[in-house]
Amino acid sequence: MAYRWNNNLKDADVTPEKMFMNRRALLAGMAAATVLPSISNAAVETPEPNSWEDITSYNNYYEFGTGKGDPAANAHQLTISPWSVRIDGMVDNPGDFDFNDIVSQMTIEERIYRFRCVEAWSMVVPWNGFELADLLNLAGVKSGAKYVAFETLNRPSEMPGLRYNVLDWPYVEGLRLDEAMHPLTIMATGIYGRDIPKQNGAPMRLVVPWKYGYKSIKSIVRITLTDKEPPTSWNRSQPSEYGFYSNVNPEVDHPRWSQSSERKIGGGLFSKRIPTLMFNGYEDEVAGLYAGMDLEKYH
Ligand code: MTE
C-alpha cells in the first residue's frame, strides 16, 4: 500500500485518499469490498458519496448538449476505443500514447473528492484514476515548461452539441505546471470502481478538486506542455465571469451570483445550502501554491 500524500483533511465532507486500489490486484479478482475494511481511517469520517444515478445523470458536457440530461441521453454515440492521447510541446518523449498502454503503467487509486460546480451545486464522487503527475513524468517534462494545456475530442459525427456555437470548439483547459503536478490532481478513468461513463468524460478526464468543475475537462485527446498560459474555453467565452485559475473561493463571487454556499445534489429540491469552503476544503494542501497572489485578480 502506498499513501501518496498526507491524510490531514479535517472536514468530514472532504475526503482525501481513502484506499489504494491496484488495478492488477482488481483484475486478479480481488473485490474492492475485501480491500476496503483493512484500510479504515478512524480520524476521518467517511462522507456520503452521491449515488451512481446522481453522478451519471446530472452532467455538463456541452459537446452532447447544454441540458443537464443531454450528456446521459447522447453520449452513448461516442466511440472510445481505440483512444490515444497526444502529448506534445515541451516534453522529452512527444507522441501519441495509447490509452490502454497508459493505464497499464499507472497506479489506479480511489479518491473520494468533493466536486463543486460554478453553478453552486456539488457532489461527492468516488473517482478511480491516477495522478496526472505520473502521466506527465512518462512523457518527461522539459525544464522551462510552465503550463499544461488540455484538449477534448472534437468529433462532430458523434457529438451533436458541436453544431452549436455555445463555446469555441474543441473544449480546452489549462493548469499551471505546479497545479498539474500536485498529488490531488488526477486523471479519472472510473467511478465506483467501474469504467467512467461516457457522459462523465470517458475514457479519461481531469479532476482538480480545489477548482470549479469546468476545469475538469473531459475525454482528453491532447496534452501540451508550454511556457505560456494556455487559453481556456470558458475564459474565452466570458472572460469577466471565468478566470484562468477558477479556484473555489467563497469570498470571490461570480459576477451574477454568490459562491459562498452550495447545494449538494441528491438531497431533494429543498435540501439546505451548506457553506462553501476555501479551495473546496483542500486549503491545507493547496493554499501554498497561491501564496502572495491576489486571488480576486487571479480568479
Ligand atoms: N469537458 C468538456 N469537454 N465539455 C464540457 O462541456 N463541462 C465542464 C467539465 N468538463 C465540460 C467538460 C463542467 S461545466 C463541469 S461542471 C464538469 O465537466 C462536470 O463534470 P461531471 O459531468 O462529471 O459532473
Q: Look up the CATH architecture of domain 80-290.
A: Alpha-Beta Complex (3.90)
pTM for the model stands at 0.87
Range 52-77 average pLDDT: 97
Residue 7: in which H helix or E strand, if any?
none
* Residue 193 confidence (pLDDT): 97
Mutation choice for ligand 1 from 55, 116, 168, 218, CB with most ligand atoms inside 8 A: 218
**Helix, strand, coil percentages for the chain (3-state, nearest 5):** 25, 25, 50
Q: Which of 28-32, 54-58, 255-259, 262-266 has the highest mean pLDDT?
A: 54-58
Interval between CA 216 and ligand 1 midpoint (Å): 6
Domain residue limits, the chain: 80-290
Task: Enter the C-alpha cell of residue 105.
Answer: 503503467
* Residue 270 confidence (pLDDT): 74
Question: For residue range 203-215, what is the model confidence (pLDDT) as tens digits?
Answer: 999 999 999 999 9
- Residues near ligand 1 with C-beta < 6 Å? 59-63, 117, 152, 171, 200, 213-214, 216-218
What does pLDDT average to over the chain? 87
Q: CA torsion sign, 71 to 77 to 82 to 83?
A: negative
Mutation choice for ligand 1 from 214, 233, 242, 248, CB with most ligand atoms inside 8 A: 214
Interval between CA 205 and ligand 1 midpoint (Å): 9
Residue type, 239: P
* Residue 255 confidence (pLDDT): 87
Q: Which of 116-125, 167-176, 201-210, 261-270 has the lowest mean pLDDT?
A: 261-270
* Residue 9 confidence (pLDDT): 36
pLDDT > 50? residue 18: no
Q: How confident is the model at residue 47 (pLDDT cuts 50, 70, 90)?
A: low
Task: Enter the C-alpha cell of residue 83.
Answer: 483512444
Residue type, 160: P
Range 276-291 average pLDDT: 97
Question: For residue range 149-204, what is the model confidence (pLDDT) as tens digits?
Answer: 999 999 999 999 999 999 999 999 999 999 999 999 999 999 999 999 999 999 99
Length of the chain: 299
Report the SS3 class of residue 167: coil
Interval between CA 22 and ligand 1 midpoint (Å): 27
